[in-house]
Amino acid sequence: MNIGEKLKLRRIKAGFTQEQIAAKMNITRQTLSNWEVGKNTPDINSIIELAQIYSLSLDELLLGKIFFKGVLGMYPKLTKDEIKITIKNHFPEATNVSELTGGLASQNFTFEVNGQCYVFKTGTRMEVYEKENLIYNNYKGVLPLRSAIQINESEQHQPYAIYHFIEGVKVFDLNSEEIFDIVPSVLQILSDLKSINVSDSEGYGHFDGKGKAPYRTWIDFIEAIYNEDLYNWHQIKNKSIDTEMINEAIRKLITVIPSINLRKKQLIHGDLGSFNLIAHRGRISGIIDWSLSMYGDHLYDVANFLFWNEEKLQPLIAHLKVRYMSTLEERTTLACYMLRIGLEELYNTVILNQPGYDVEWVANRLRTITKAME
């Protein structure tokens, strides 16, 4: 989803015409149109003004992040002062407490102790921290991971963890030249994930803090998205979304499942993107947020990159298409996984009211993928 697409969706969702926005901003309709089709990019002052007109934060406008029906995640947001107090309970000498942006449900802060930097994370269930600790202990020799020095849960406090800081910045914050530089490193990360042996692990799909996943086979996980005992799609009729589009995506998914040929169980991050990869000096220095990690086909991570199709990551997307879409079997398998990713996202945000990305964009993306398979 590029910036122009986001601006257009936000304008339509707010109920404005191009002429109305142009009049409010004292610009020409053509200028706005050029922004929305991607011919030009608005400057920061114009972006701020658009966010104010649409009553959105800059994150909501530019990142496509919104919290549906007021849902703010599993736990209430803590104030910065509350987080400072919690940090100082462990590190009384902590200084420079600063918030990190980008989390849908979690809150992340950095702080320093005697010149050393750490990360404080809260806002997600205890199982997430257990999973990240499990993955670090098992795969720290293969993948660039951060270690937890404190995981805490009590009746008085929501779960939180304190991690060693990984040097670098989120890939989202890199410029276009720096994005090109880290492409080989991301490709290597995908190869490293593929190489990890998880054949002795229990089950397929999303695993818990003990490393146990619920599905007997990988196909069972893929097929679960249309299992009425697990996903009640009938509720979609009461929501403002195209039910026929959902049904067509499920029909297409069913037809291409036979193309899946998983030869070896692999570790999947489940949410690789510009916000979960840390870069430093032209390479990936860290992979964070393993809340959606699972066992299955490593191509699911490739499909995740392709589904979200981040404008920031287009140089990487181009390489992924060359490397992973050379055969009909690969293309069909990736299309299958993209359909499942889109369906899962819509179910979680529209029916379960979980924090998620722009429903209209996800629906349009799913529709585009479905149509391309005709």
> Could you read off the pLDDT tens digit of each residue along the chain, which spans 374 residues?
567 777 887 787 677 889 999 999 999 999 999 998 888 888 888 888 888 887 776 656 665 544 332 333 456 678 889 999 999 999 999 999 998 876 666 889 999 999 999 999 998 889 899 999 999 999 999 999 999 999 998 777 789 999 999 999 999 999 989 999 999 999 999 999 999 999 999 999 999 999 999 999 999 999 999 998 899 998 888 777 889 999 999 999 999 999 999 999 999 999 999 999 999 999 999 999 999 999 999 999 999 999 999 988 999 999 999 999 999 999 999 999 999 999 999 998 888 877 777 888 899 999 999 999 98
CB-based contacts of 181, cutoff 8 Å, min separation 6: 282
pLDDT of residue 63: 55
Residues 272, 274, 279, 281, Cα dihedral to 10°: 130
Question: Which three-class secondary structure state does DSSP give residue 202?
Answer: strand
H or E element: which one contains 150? strand 148-152
Of the candidates 88, 72, 75, the one whose C-alpha atom is nearest the C-alpha of residue 158 is: 75
pLDDT of residue 247: 94
User: Using alpha carbons only, how large is the chain's radius of gyration in Å?
Assistant: 21
The DSSP output letter for 225 is G
Of the candidates 221, 203, 225, the one whose C-alpha atom is nearest the C-alpha of residue 212 is: 203
pLDDT of residue 103: 64
Q: What is the DSSP string of 76-129?
A: PPPPHHHHHHHHHHH-TT-EEEEEEP--SS-EEEEEEETTEEEEEEESS-HHHH
Q: Quote the strand ranges of 171-329, DSSP E.
A: 205-206, 266-268, 277-280, 283-287, 294-296
Give the integer Cα–Cα distance in Å for 309 and 316. Answer: 10
Query: Rounded to an integer, what is the distance from CA 52 to the centroid of its chain?
Result: 25
pLDDT of residue 153: 84
Residue ranges of domains in the chain, CATH in brackets:
3-63 (1.10.260.40), 80-164 (3.30.200.20), 173-372 (3.90.1200.10)
CB-based contacts of 187, cutoff 8 Å, min separation 6: 316, 319, 320, 323
